């Protein structure tokens, strides 16, 4: 997994609430057996016509936002299906950070497994960043994971919370299966205890 | 841990294999369910790292998401990508030695219907699957939730999940449901109150007389949509109904093991005085048959209602409602019962069980679907299908003009050929009405199986109580 430490980039404003993972990556693209190559189909049905032509109004099709690395989103981003294809598609497009007032639980966890930082901020802060993102490509938002801050293009800074373990893994690009396997003795001993207590499992 | 505990606290405490100083835990997983869409990358990850599946005997695979529901699928699947995914699951199940129900097996079906049916899901267990509707299994008093593919790989390799504990929410439904009101109406009504983010960060325990009165099938419907309210999981304490459902299932304990299990299962309830971080109470008598009108499961109203206006809302929801009305082709003020439909879909992990088919068939018996309307029933498993045929339900559906399909997820998420066309409007017993969910441009109204059957007869959304 690619590390995430600091990022300064173009932020696409997507104020719509409840953007679900079906919108982020529609079902027809879940038939892949790879993790890569989904960026071209990110937000497919909002981004292209039925015939496959770009819809010019869609934010990521606008010249200023084609190279976005951040999305500032409405409430409850990533709700619905557990499909990890959603963060895979975001990452493949080049998005490394999503900022919102809230995220759906499974999507939030999936981001951390893929080098994407989801940032939860209060509504007032998201409103400021949304307005900043709407200024276009010259307004670059900065995200600093180590210091847990997001800074708008005109220097307004907002602190955010993040779980210490998730932060550690993301900053160091760690494979958490490897980390968990270091605790295999604890898993072994749990299994033998459980076998006595609940042998029917 | 001392003091009174919730059901969630108890299951959690019994599954912590390791706890770090910051509270991050390795939660031991008793059952891992696997399907073809969210697992190929996880198995590939294991191969690349040279890791085995730690507990293949606790891992169960079944293809469901993109299998066709028409005859001949056991020998050939036309769509190449779907075929590759199903073949990959075949191979992964064989290579890693996990339990497997291929499409040729009568026990194949939607993973969340197969698990309980085969007795894999038992009270007090931790159950995960790379699918958000894993919440279904919470109906047995098991802690069950959806995970991403990276977590699928983590569970395959370690039989644990990295977790921090969620908060406790109690959703109590008091009193009794009125005629025509079902588990589906309960779960949609709760989401109507909490919103789709209201449960974020929580595990919900559903309780109260109206929940106790539900069958296991009805309880599964309620828990299934806990995720639509944003919760990590939904739970219902096991009781005599639960034990009766589980007893005798192929993988349920037998003999002395059954007695030992039963003694443990009877300890699985929330202690008097245990703390909940949030409590929501609805009166069963106040719940009406409901339908969704928009593109979020929180867009729900009693069938007697009218389509709302964006101006009825505030904040970001104003734009979302305008967008939903445009997408759904609806006008504010329109009566919900005036909405004409093109298609009826009965099935899914929400409402594809035998009781759901019985409820729909009871409405359809001796009647016909409206001319020109497309209607299909997709049983949740091969065994549900066989039972429905034995009970004569299949014939009622066929006589009413419904297509009688093979088991799978089908039009709930439209990964297989069962899809809506742009603008096509569907009354669906499934769980999501998102834009494009059932096919690009398709319009979905979520409702109960009886309400779906009623709509098939009249050709528009219909109050089931008018047909009782």
B393 forms beta bridges with: none
CA distance B294 to chain A (A): 12
Q: Nearest-CA neighbor of B43 among B149, B177, B125, B114?
A: B149
Contact list in B for residue A183 (CB cut-off 8 A) is: 17-18, 26
* A182 Cβ contact partners less than 8 Å away, ≥ 6 residues apart: none
**Is the C-alpha dihedral spanning B338, B339, B345, B350 positive or negative?**
negative
Q: Nearest-CA neighbor of A128 among A138, A139, A118, A116?
A: A139
Q: Is it the case that residue B1 has pLDDT exceeding 60? A: no
Exposed/middle/buried for residue A22 (C-beta within 10 Å: 0-12, 13-18, 19+): buried
Single pTM value for the model:
0.97
* B182 Cβ contact partners less than 8 Å away, ≥ 6 residues apart: B218, B221, B289, B359, B448, B449, B450
By the 8 A CB rule, do B131 and B146 touch? yes
Please state the rounded mean pLDDT for residues B78-89: 95
Contact list in A for residue B432 (CB cut-off 8 A) is: 20, 22, 80-81
**Is the C-alpha dihedral spanning B324, B329, B331, B337 positive or negative?**
negative
SS3 per-residue string spanning chain B: CCCCCCHHHHHHHCCEEEECCCCCEEEECCEEEECCCCCHHHHHHHHHHCCCCCCHHHEEECCCCCCCCCCCCCCCCCCHHHHHHHHHHHHHHHHHCCEECCCCCCCCECHHHHHHHCCCCCCCCEEEECCHHHHHHHHHCCEEEECCHHHHHHHHHHCEEEECCCEEEEEEEECCCCCCCCHHHHHHHHHHHHCCCCCCCEEEEEECHHHHCCCHHHHHHHHHCCHHHCCCEEECCCCHHHHHHHCCCCCCCCHHHHHHHHHHHCCCCCCCCCCCCEEEEEEHHHCCCEEECCCCCCCEEECCCECCCHHHCCCCHHHHHHHHHHHHCCCCCCEHHHCECCEEEEEHHHHCCHHHHHHHHHHHCCCCCCCCCEEEEECCEHHHHHHHHHCCHHHHHHHCCCEECCCCCHHHCCCCCCCCCCCCEEEECCCCCCCCCCCCCCEEEECCHHHHHHHHHHCECCCHHHCC
CA distance A15 to A100: 9
Tell me the domains of chain A and their CATH numbers.
6-197 (3.20.19.10)
A110 touches chain B (CB under 8 A): yes
Each residue of A63-81: pLDDT tens digit?
999 999 999 999 999 999 9
Please state the rounded mean pLDDT for residues B2-11: 95
**What pLDDT does B72 receive?**
93
A34 touches chain B (CB under 8 A): yes
- DSSP 3-state of A40: helix
CA distance B278 to B275: 9
CA distance B177 to B37: 37
Q: B3: number of CA atoms within 13 Å, CB side?
A: 6
CA distance B276 to B282: 16
Q: Tell me, what's the ipTM?
A: 0.95
> Residue A138: pLDDT band by 50, 70, 90 thresholds?
confident
**Is the C-alpha dihedral spanning B24, B30, B35, B36 positive or negative?**
positive
- Residue position matching structure tokens 């297509």: B403
Asked if B24 lies within 8 A of A26 by C-beta distance, the reply is no
Of A22, A26, A180, the CB nearest to B162: A180
Asked if A113 lies within 8 A of B151 by C-beta distance, the reply is yes
Region of A79 (left: φ > 0; alpha: ψ -120 to 50; beta: rest) is beta
**What pLDDT does A18 receive?**
97
A174 touches chain B (CB under 8 A): no
Asked if A187 lies within 8 A of B159 by C-beta distance, the reply is yes
Q: Work out the end-to-end distance of chain B between its first and last CA atoms, rounded to an integer number of angstroms.
A: 51
B197 touches chain A (CB under 8 A): yes
Q: Is it the case that residue B282 has pLDDT exceeding 60? A: yes
Please give the structure tokens belonging to residue B392: 């004569």
**What pLDDT does B302 receive?**
98
Asked if A180 lies within 8 A of B317 by C-beta distance, the reply is no
* B45 Cβ contact partners less than 8 Å away, ≥ 6 residues apart: A177, B150, B153
CA distance B101 to B213: 32
By the 8 A CB rule, do B340 and B460 touch? yes
Each residue of B21-52: pLDDT tens digit?
999 999 999 999 999 999 999 999 999 999 99
Contact list in B for residue A197 (CB cut-off 8 A) is: 14
A57 touches chain B (CB under 8 A): no
Contact list in A for residue B158 (CB cut-off 8 A) is: 177, 180-181, 184, 187
- Residue position matching structure tokens 């390791």: B18
Each residue of B322-377: pLDDT tens digit?
999 999 999 999 999 999 999 999 999 999 999 999 999 999 999 999 999 999 99
Each residue of B403-422: pLDDT tens digit?
999 999 999 999 999 999 99
Q: Is it the case that residue A175 has pLDDT exceeding 90? A: no
By the 8 A CB rule, do A136 and A126 touch? no
- DSSP 3-state of A22: helix
Mean pLDDT rounded to a whole number for chain B: 97
Q: Is it the case that residue A44 has pLDDT exceeding 90? A: yes
**What pLDDT does B2 receive?**
74
* Measured CA distances, A10 to A42, A153, B144, B214, B403 (Å): 17, 10, 39, 52, 50
Q: Name the residue of chain B whose CA is nearest to A48's CA.
A: B440
A126 forms beta bridges with: none
Q: Nearest-CA neighbor of B283 among B178, B169, B203, B170?
A: B178
The gap from C-alpha A29 to its chain's centroid, in whole angstroms, comes to 18
- DSSP 3-state of A164: helix
Each residue of B161-170: pLDDT tens digit?
999 999 999 9
Q: How many CB pairs under 8 A join A and B?
A: 192
Q: Is it the case that residue B151 has pLDDT exceeding 60? A: yes
Count Cβ atoms below 10 Å from residue A93 Cβ, excluding itself.
19
In B64-123, the residues whose Cβ lies within 8 Å of chain A are: 65-66, 79, 81-82, 84-85, 88, 122
Count Cβ atoms below 10 Å from residue A119 Cβ, excluding itself.
24
B247 touches chain A (CB under 8 A): no
Asked if B28 lies within 8 A of A186 by C-beta distance, the reply is no
Q: Is it the case that residue A139 has pLDDT exceeding 90? A: no
Asked if B17 lies within 8 A of A190 by C-beta distance, the reply is yes
Please state the rounded mean pLDDT for residues B366-391: 98
By the 8 A CB rule, do B242 and B7 touch? no
By the 8 A CB rule, do B464 and B375 touch? no
Say what the alpha-carbon torsion angle B19, B155, B37, B118 is, to the nearest 10 degrees: -110
**What pLDDT does B28 receive?**
98
Please state the rounded mean pLDDT for residues B48-73: 96
Contact list in B for residue A26 (CB cut-off 8 A) is: 436, 440
Q: Nearest-CA neighbor of B347 among B263, B286, B407?
A: B407
- DSSP 3-state of A74: coil
By the 8 A CB rule, do B130 and B147 touch? yes
B446 forms beta bridges with: B428
**What pLDDT does B108 receive?**
98
């Amino acid at each position: 997994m690619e590390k995430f430490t600091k990022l300064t980039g173009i932020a696409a404003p997507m104020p719509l609430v409840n953007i679900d993972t079906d919108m982020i990556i529609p079902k027809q693209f879940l038939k892949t057996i790879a993790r890569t190559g989904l960026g071209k189909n990110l937000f497919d049905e909002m981004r292209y016509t039925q015939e496959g032509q770009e819809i010019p109004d869609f934010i990521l099709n606008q010249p200023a936002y084609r190279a976005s690395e951040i999305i500032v989103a409405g409430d409850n981003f990533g709700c619905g299906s557990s499909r990890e294809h959603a963060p895979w598609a975001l990452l493949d497009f080049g998005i490394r950070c999503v900022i919102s007032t809230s995220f759906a639980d499974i999507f939030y966890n999936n981001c951390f497994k893929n080098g994407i930082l989801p940032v939860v901020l209060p509504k007032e802060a998201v409103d400021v960043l949304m307005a900043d993102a709407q200024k276009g490509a010259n307004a670059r938002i900065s995200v600093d994971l180590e210091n847990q801050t997001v800074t708008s293009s005109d220097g307004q800074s907002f602190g955010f919370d993040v779980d210490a373990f998730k932060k550690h893994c993301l900053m160091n690009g760690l494979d958490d299966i490897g980390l968990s396997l270091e605790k295999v003795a604890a898993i072994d001993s749990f299994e033998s205890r459980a076998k006595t207590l609940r042998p029917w499992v | 841990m001392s003091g009174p505990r919730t059901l969630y606290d108890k299951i959690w405490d019994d599954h912590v294999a390791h706890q770090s100083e910051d509270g991050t835990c390795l939660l031991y997983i008793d059952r891992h369910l696997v399907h073809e869409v969210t697992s190929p990358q996880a198995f590939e990850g294991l191969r690349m790292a040279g890791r085995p599946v730690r507990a293949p005997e606790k891992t169960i695979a079944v293809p469901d998401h993109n299998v066709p529901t028409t005859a001949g699928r056991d020998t050939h699947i036309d769509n190449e990508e779907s075929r590759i995914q199903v073949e990959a699951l075949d191979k992964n199940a064989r290579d890693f030695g996990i339990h497997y129900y291929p499409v040729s097996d009568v026990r194949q079906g939607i993973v969340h219907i197969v698990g309980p049916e085969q007795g894999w899901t038992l009270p007090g267990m931790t159950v995960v699957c790379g699918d958000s509707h894993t919440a279904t299994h919470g109906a047995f008093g098991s802690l069950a939730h959806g995970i991403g593919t990276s977590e699928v790989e983590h569970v395959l390799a370690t039989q644990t999940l990295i977790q921090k504990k969620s908060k406790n929410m109690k959703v109590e439904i008091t009193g009794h449901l009125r005629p025509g009101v079902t588990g589906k109406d309960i779960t949609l009504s709760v989401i109507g109150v909490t919103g789709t983010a209201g449960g974020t960060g929580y595990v919900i325990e559903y309780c109260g007389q109206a929940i106790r009165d539900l069958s296991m099938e009805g309880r599964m419907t309620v828990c299934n949509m806990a995720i639509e309210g944003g919760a990590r999981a939904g739970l219902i304490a096991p009781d005599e109904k639960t034990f009766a459902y589980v007893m005798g299932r192929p993988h349920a304990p037998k003999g002395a093991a059954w007695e030992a299990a039963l003694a443990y299962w009877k300890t699985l309830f929330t202690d008097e005085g245990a703390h909940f971080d949030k409590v929501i109470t609805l009166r069963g008598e106040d719940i009406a048959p409901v339908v969704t009108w928009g593109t979020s499961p929180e867009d729900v109203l009693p069938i007697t209602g009218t389509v709302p206006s964006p101006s009825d809302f505030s904040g970001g929801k104003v734009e979302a409602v305008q967008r939903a009305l445009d997408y759904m082709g609806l006008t504010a003020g329109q009566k919900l019962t005036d909405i004409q439909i093109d298609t009826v879909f009965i099935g899914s992990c929400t409402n594809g069980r035998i009781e759901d088919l019985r409820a729909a068939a009871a409405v359809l018996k001796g009647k016909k679907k409206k001319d020109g309307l497309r209607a299909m029933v997709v049983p949740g498993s091969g065994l549900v299908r066989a039972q429905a045929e034995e009970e004569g339900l299949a014939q009622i559906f066929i006589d009413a003009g419904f297509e009688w399909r093979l088991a799978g997820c089908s039009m709930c998420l439209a990964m297989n050929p069962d899809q809506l066309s742009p603008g096509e409007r569907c009354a669906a017993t499934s769980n999501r009405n998102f834009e494009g969910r059932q096919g690009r441009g398709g319009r979905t109204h979520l409702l109960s199986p009886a309400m779906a059957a009623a709509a098939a007869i009249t050709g528009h959304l219909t109050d089931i109580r008018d047909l009782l």
